[in-house]
Structures are given as structure tokens and as C-alpha cells.
Structure 1
Amino acid sequence: MSGVRPARGTETTLIVAEDETMVRAAVVAVLDAEENLRVVGEAAGGEAAVELAVSLRPDVALLDIRMPCLDGLAATARILAEVPGTRVIVLTSFGLDDYVFGALRAGAAGFLLKDSTPERIIDAVHVVSAGDALLDPALTRRLIGHLLTMAPRPARTEELGVLTPREREVLAHVARGLSNGEIGARLGLSPSTVKGHVATIIAKLGVRDRVQAAVVACETGLVGRGAGSDGELT
């Protein structure tokens, strides 16, 4: 099942792909009720979601991680390859699993639990459509915990050598899911200064966004147990 609706003016356009009809309807209702957001297409499967993304080129695609025909991981990779201007948010009711980590590595801008509040979903869309990336706070600690069970990759550890001590400090906080404002408050920096550091970190590491940078921080051991205050799971 898929559906297409016309966009209105210059709003942020979205598609929603979710195989559970009631869940999809609820998410669409939340988004369409927000000024300047417009759901232009709905899909019940991954293949249909890719087709909608290619034809409609929405600003943001919200994808369920587990769908028939094509799962959210494969759909994310295809959408980002064929419509690089579209940002992807993964929706999951399963918490963290290999599908979610795969979606992040495929380039998803972030992920949310399906039981997130309407305000959280709307905020996530605004954050992602503005070019930033988002980790649901409820999942950030578990994300770090999972990645800490994986051995650091030597090649990525070497990659951290391009960062200054301050940039490593900022990256450690990014890996905890803190916003620029929260990082600034902890380090005595303005949000705009933190934003500049984050942009430099992303460029130096050659990653897509702050979510990918957080993954690098965890995989290389920059954030980890026994690493001092920068590595505490808070």
C-alpha cells in the first residue's frame, strides 16, 4: 500500500513508511498537524518507500526498521544512494539491534522509538531537516553500551589523531547524545562555538553527520568504560 498527496507551498516534505496501519496513521497525523510540515506520501513496505522517495524527493523519510519486501536498512541505503538530498529517520519499537546500527552506518540521520512523544517526533524532523542528526536520548546510553562490546578498529583509532584535544573532548560529549547547547554548558563554550567544533570534527573524520561521528567515538574507544570523565556512561 502506498499513497501520494500534493505538497503545500514551501513546507518540509516527508514520506512515512510503516507496515502497521494504525501506527502509520498516528505518525502522519502528528506530522501533518504541525505547521510547515507536510506528509506527501505513505508506504507500507520498503520497496514502495524507495519508489516514493525517488518520485517525490522528500526532505525527510521516516522508515520503520522492519517492513515487508524490503527492510528499513536496505531501504535507507537505497534512498540515500538514489536521493542523496533526502534525510532518513529510522523508527523502531525494538530498541537497539543490528538493524538500527546498520541503518546508522548506511547514513541514517538518526532514529526514534515509535512510542516517542509527538513533540519528540516533530523536533526530530526539524533537527534532521535542518541538516543536523539525532539520537533518541532514551537509546543513546544503550547505543554506547553496545558499541563498547565491540573491539576498537585500529584504522579508526589512527583517524582520531587528526583531532585536537578540545575536538576530542567535544566528540566525547557528542557520543553521549548531548546537544550543542548542553556541550557548551559543560565546557564553558557558546553553542555556536560548539557547532563550529562539531562541523570541523565531521569534516576531519570524513563522516556524514554527528551520529556517524558518535559511532566513530565509540568504536575507537574514545568513549568507554574506565576512560575517565569523558568516557563515563551518563
Structure 2
Amino acid sequence: MSSTSGADREPVRVLVVDDQELFRRGLVALLASEPGIEVIGEATNGIEGTERAAASAPDVVLLDVRMPKQTGLEACVAIKEAVPSANIIMLTVSDEEADLYDAVKAGAMGYLLKDSSIDQVAQAIRVVADGQSLISPSMAVKLMEEFKQMSRPDRSPVPGPKLTDRELEVLGLVAKGLNNREIAKRLFISENTVKNHVRNILEKLQAHSRMEAVMYAVRQKLLNVD
């Protein structure tokens, strides 16, 4: 039985924040039939979403990028401040690289396009609730291209926190989109050991998420992505 199946653990508590009522209601209805996922509320804008997150402390928040009154990126920062334990997935029509980078820097752990299937959204919720990052495949490709540009040889290194060789190895695999289980298999170590390495990396780099850690490490020349 999968570790994410309903009998093994408490359901993942989800808050859906989107100003498009038809999309929001449809998503809530579809998620209601997903095992191990419980929608505990919905909101129509970032301000309302932040208030509801603060009141209900959801495990995962699905957050649209472009909304009135307060953007999803602004709400992402506000929700992380109000509920540090909340894991945020940006769910959007935007495939602009700038929105993806800003979302990662704001603390989002997932970034999905709205044309994703309900199975992809549900899987992202489970993965992100487990402390891992997930980005739409098409956006992950764009992110890797940006990493390559950021790690150009002509960029000068900037002194920063020192990661161990193993931590750099783990972070390099995170940058390639591997999850904890895949990294453990690749490096012949346990999944718990991978989680410990990731936790140490986030502490050293003072990063909110795995992808933010990758962006920082590449920018500071701690990690070379080829």
C-alpha cells in the first residue's frame, strides 16, 4: 500500500484560492473524490486566502498567480508568514518564466499550469505535502535552461554557505527534478538520509523550498548545472 493512501495517514488538508468561480468550484468538486485529500475551504482572492489560511492552517494551499486585490505571489509571501507550515502550489495559466522564478523565491513548492489533469494536481498535492517540490514538466525545462544560464563560466563566484560534497550531489539531483525516492536510489542511500540532507541544505542556505535552494546555489556558483 502506498504511503499516501488514506488508511496510512491523516488526509492532506487543502485550501483552494482562485478568483475564477467556475474553475475553483470545479477543482474543489474534483478533489473531493481524491483519496487522502480533504478540501477545507476556498477563497476568491489573496487577502481572503491569507485570512482563511491563518484561521485553518491548511497543509497545502492551491493559489492562482493572477488575482484582484492581492496577487498570488503577494499572497504566497503573506500565507508563508502567517502559516509557515503551509506548503503552497501555484496553479495558473501563466507559463512565463518570470512568474515561476518569483513564485519559487516567494516560497512556493509547486507550480502547475491550469491545463494539468486532476490526477497531476492531486499528485502534486501529495508530493508537496510530503515536503518535496513539483513543477509542471514544461516549466521545469524552462527552469533548467535558466539554471544553465545562471551557471555560465563567465559568472564570478560569490562567497556563501559551504555545502558538503554529498549535499551538492543531492541538490544537483533536486535541480534535475528527482524526488527523494529517486535520489535515494541513484545515490544508494536511504530516503530518510536524503530528507536529512535536504533539511541541512535548506537550513544552510536559509531557503524556503528545494527549488529556491537550487536557484540560490546556482546563482552563488555553489552548484553547476550542465
TM class by smaller structure:
0.7 to 0.9
> Are residues 137 and 178 of structure 1, via their aligned partners in 2, closer, same or farther at CA, if it must alter by over 3 Å?
farther
Conserved in 2, the CA contact under 8 Å of 1:53 and 1:79?
Answer: yes
CA contact (8 A) 1:104 1:212 kept: yes
Q: Deviations over 1:183-232 (max 9, x none)?
A: 234334443333332222222222223122122233234555xxxxxx33
Unaligned runs of 5+ in 2: 1-9
In 2, Cα distance between equivalents of 1:193 and 1:84: 24
Mapped partners of 1:78, 1:193: distance in 2: 32
Alpha carbons 1:73, 1:103 under 8 Å: kept? yes
Give the whole-Å Cα distance in 2 for the aligned partners of 1:59 and 1:132: 13
Tell me the equivalent position of 1:158.
159
Q: 1:93 to 1:221 in 2, by over 3 A?
A: farther
Match of 1:3 in 2: none
Q: 1:154 offset after TM fit, Å?
A: 6.4
Counterpart amino acid of 2:143? L
2:42 is equivalent to residue 59 of structure 1: no
Q: Deviations over 1:157-202 (max 9, x none)?
A: 4225x11222212211111111123223433444333333222222
Identity of aligned residues (%): 37
1:172 touches 1:217 (CA, 8 Å); kept in 2? no
| Mapped partners of 2:216, 2:87: distance in 1 | 20
Q: Which amino acid aligns with 2:138?
A: A
Change (3 A) 1:222 1:95: farther
1: CA distance between counterparts of 2:97 and 2:168?
A: 27
1-side partners of 2:177 and 2:96: how far apart?
15
Deviates more, 1:47-56 or 1:58-67: 47-56
**Structure 2 counterpart of 1:206, which letter?**
Q
- Paired residues for 1:127-146 under 5 Å: 127-146=127-146
Deviates more, 1:173-182 or 1:195-204: 195-204
Note the C-alpha offset of 1:147. 4.2
1:150, distance to aligned residue in structure 2 (A): 4.6
- Which residue number corresponds to residue 94 of structure 1? 94
Which residue is 1:205 aligned to?
A: 205
After TM superposition, the structure 1 = structure 2 runs for residues 58-207 of structure 1, keeping only pairs within 5 Å, are 58-150=58-150, 157-159=158-160, 162-207=162-207
Distance 1:192 1:100 in 2: 29
Q: 1:78 to 1:163 in 2, by over 3 A?
A: same
- The 1-side partners of 2:26 and 2:72 are apart by 19
Shift of 1:46: 1.6
TM-score by length of 1: 0.80
2:97–2:142 Cα contact (<8 Å) kept: no
Provide the alpha-carbon RMSD of the alignment: 2.4
Instruction: Rate the CA distance shift 1:173–1:55 in 2: closer, same or farther, 3 A.
Output: same
Partners of 1:39 and 1:172 in 2: CA distance: 34
TM-score by length of 2: 0.83
Q: How many residues align?
A: 215
1:111-151, CA deviations, whole angstroms, 9 ceiling, x for partnerless residues?
A: 11112222221111112222333233332121122344457
Q: Distance in 2 between matches of 1:170 and 1:146?
A: 19
Partner residue of 2:21? 21
Q: 1:56 to 1:74 in 2, by over 3 A?
A: same
2:7 maps to what in 1? Answer: none
**Which stretches in structure 1 are left out of the alignment for 5+ residues?**
1-9, 225-230
